């Protein structure tokens, strides 16, 4: 088609044809330099490449066969890249081209209810995702000046946490414990508890078995939590590069919402696997191993990730990202390298104890070893007051109980205190998938502090609590109601039963 015809047909519009014609008319022939690399070897999710002298760290490279990789290691005569996508045709000798781009991921509300991989591609069978924008995977965390204090509570729906180890919006709270101690269950419960609370959630599953992935997604779906959640998955069989990128991808998605002024919650399940993937990549790329064979920058990697969780100032829209990183310990060893790193990076930890689990105290949270360094500021004043009294009682009881193990005879007053402590322990037990409203938390705290449960046998505690919960849910009492009002109503309810 002659240029004139094209131009006359579309003069007023901004059509691609017009643009193309304009570009062609200005086209100049000349010498252009481009670089072409070659794969030297490939294996274990890594490609060694030579011949790309201007490649940058973290740049995406495109391979001739359709694979893609991320530059991860620059050596004198070659570069190491981690594969993001690998076709069956990739071998030594495949040509490599620079793209000049860094890794980014699609973000936006269209992701809600979806399951994606760390590159943002859908893993569910629902089809294309209409992203509302793109965001770089590795950005700097917000500067101090853009941040605000943690001042609003984020309710987990768990009795122990919401009362004694409270979490605030924008806080980073570590879930730490041996395998099978209930860490993921509590994280899932927390996500489920955000229903109707206007908090968008991101659940990142790193290196988990497919059965765990499926059951996590199913649990969220059944509880109606997928409507406000996106699940980012790099399962155990995924390439190490994807496992390494998964938390950053999830963080980027949540960060986009935070920047838009929303409250978000992100769970990293779990960062031990992430650290191991990073160690694997680093060793394969022949970086010098440090403590426990982890590369020296693992602390930097995790702190960079977790520093991106914060609460933004009102000027920046007031959004927040609360992070719940999960770490697995071995034989309760919290002094190992990765756990100590994360304990120091986060604003507190919730410690899950295998022995408590074995004794049937579920969720198996060890209150004595758990802390929340900033969440107390965000706690509602009345809950804080009630919980303070209860916590003191509980800690004293745990100390006293040690004496009874020796079978020593106790004074009557001591026995009464121990009985009261045992009742409290029964009250603190909670089933999985049963997050509680904050009003009910208030009710049981007042009931305990007023001694309204003291006369019960241990077996009766659970049923009394269930009855109280039913009554609280039917009544429309709120936290700002006076304490006397609460006390009176709870007394009346318990007498009815
Ligand atoms: N509050 C609870 N009540 C009853 N069962 C529970 C409770 N919390 C956890 N469980 C059970 O404990 C088991 C282990 O829990 P979970 O998978 O959450 O542990 P985990 O610490 O995430 O384990 P892993 O290290 O393998 O990921 C599950 O079968 C779960 O159903
Ligand atoms: Mg788990």
- Beta strand pairing status for 174-177 and 320-328? parallel
Ligand 1 centroid, distance to 189 Cα (angstroms): 11
Residues having C-beta closer than 5 Å to ion ligand 2: 184
Instruction: Tell me which residue has tokens 């020593």.
Output: 408
> Domain 37-102 belongs to what topology?
Elongation Factor Tu (Ef-tu); domain 3 (2.40.30)
Residue 373 is a catalytic residue: yes
Pair of tokens at residue 351: 């410690």
Superfamily of domain 383-496: ATP synthase alpha/beta chain, C-terminal domain (1.20.150.20)
Contact by Cβ (8 Å): 159, 174? no
| Ligand whose nearest atom lies closest to the CA of 183 | 1
User: What is the Cβ-side half-sphere exposure of residue 196, based on CA atoms within 13 angstroms?
Assistant: 2
Ligand 1 centroid, distance to 219 Cα (angstroms): 13
Q: Domain coordinates of the chain in residue numbers? A: 37-102, 105-379, 383-496
Tell me the backbone φ, ψ of residue 274, rounded to 5 degrees. Answer: -60, -45
Ligand 1, pocket residues at CB < 6 Å? 177, 179-185, 328, 362-363, 430-432
Same fold, 37-102 and 383-496: no
Q: Domain 105-379 maps to which CATH number in 3.40.640.10, 2.60.40.1240, 1.20.120.330, 3.40.50.300?
A: 3.40.50.300
Which stretches in the chain have pLDDT values below 70? 1-13, 497
Instruction: Tell me which residue has tokens 């191991």.
Output: 276
Name all contacts of 412-418 with Cβ < 8 Å and 24+ positions apart: none
Q: What is the pLDDT of residue 411?
A: 83
Q: What is the pLDDT of residue 282?
A: 94
pTM: 0.92
Q: What is the pLDDT of residue 478?
A: 85
Q: Whats the size of the chain, residue-wise?
A: 497
Q: What is the pLDDT of residue 496?
A: 77
């Amino acid at each position: 088609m002659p240029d004139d015809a094209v131009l006359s047909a579309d003069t007023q519009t901004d059509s691609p044809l017009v643009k193309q014609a304009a570009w062609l008319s200005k086209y100049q022939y000349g010498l252009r330099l481009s670089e072409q690399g070659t794969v030297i070897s490939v294996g274990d999710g890594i490609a060694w490449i030579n011949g790309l002298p201007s490649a940058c760290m973290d740049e995406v490279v495109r391979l001739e066969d359709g694979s893609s990789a991320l530059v991860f290691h620059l050596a004198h005569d070659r570069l190491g890249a981690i594969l993001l996508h690998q076709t069956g045709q990739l071998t030594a000798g495949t040509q490599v081209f620079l793209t000049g781009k860094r890794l980014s991921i699609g973000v936006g509300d269209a992701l809600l209810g979806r399951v994606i991989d760390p590159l943002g591609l859908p893993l569910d069978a629902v089809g294309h995702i209409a992203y509302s924008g793109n965001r770089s995977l590795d950005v700097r965390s917000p500067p101090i000046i853009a941040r605000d204090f943690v001042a609003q509570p984020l309710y987990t729906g768990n009795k122990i946490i919401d009362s004694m180890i409270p979490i605030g919006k924008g806080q980073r709270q570590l879930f730490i414990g041996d395998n099978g101690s209930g860490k993921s269950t509590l994280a899932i419960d927390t996500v489920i508890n955000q229903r109707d609370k206007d908090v968008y959630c991101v659940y990142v599953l790193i290196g988990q078995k497919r059965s765990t992935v499926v059951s996590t997604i199913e649990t969220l779906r059944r509880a109606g939590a997928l409507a406000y959640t996106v699940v980012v998955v790099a399962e155990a069989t995924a390439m190490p590069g994807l496992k390494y990128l998964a938390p950053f991808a999830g963080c980027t998605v949540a960060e986009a919402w935070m920047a838009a002024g929303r409250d978000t919650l992100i769970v990293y399940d779990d960062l031990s696997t992430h650290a191991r993937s990073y160690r694997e990549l680093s060793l394969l790329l022949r970086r010098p191993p440090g403590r426990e064979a982890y590369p020296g920058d693992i602390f930097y990697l995790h702190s960079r990730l977790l520093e991106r969780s914060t609460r933004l100032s009102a000027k920046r829209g007031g959004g927040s990202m609360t992070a719940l990183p999960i770490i697995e310990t071995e034989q309760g060893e919290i002094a190992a390298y990765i756990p100590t790193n994360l304990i120091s990076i986060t604003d507190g930890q919730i410690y899950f104890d295998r022995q408590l689990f074995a004794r049937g105290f579920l969720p198996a949270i060890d209150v004595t070893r758990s802390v929340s360094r900033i969440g107390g500021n965000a706690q509602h004043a009345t809950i804080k007051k009630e919980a303070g009294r209860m916590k003191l009682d509980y800690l004293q009881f745990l100390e006293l109980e040690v004496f009874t193990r020796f079978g020593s005879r106790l004074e009557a007053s001591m026995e009464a205190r121990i009985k009261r402590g045992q009742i409290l322990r029964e009250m603190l037990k909670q089933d999985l998938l049963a997050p509680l409203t904050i009003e009910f938390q208030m009710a049981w705290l007042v009931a305990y502090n007023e001694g309204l449960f003291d006369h019960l046998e241990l077996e009766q505690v659970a049923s009394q609590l269930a009855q109280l919960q039913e009554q609280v849910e039917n009544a429309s009492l709120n936290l700002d109601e006076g304490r006397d009002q609460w006390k009176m109503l709870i007394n009346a309810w318990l007498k009815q039963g």
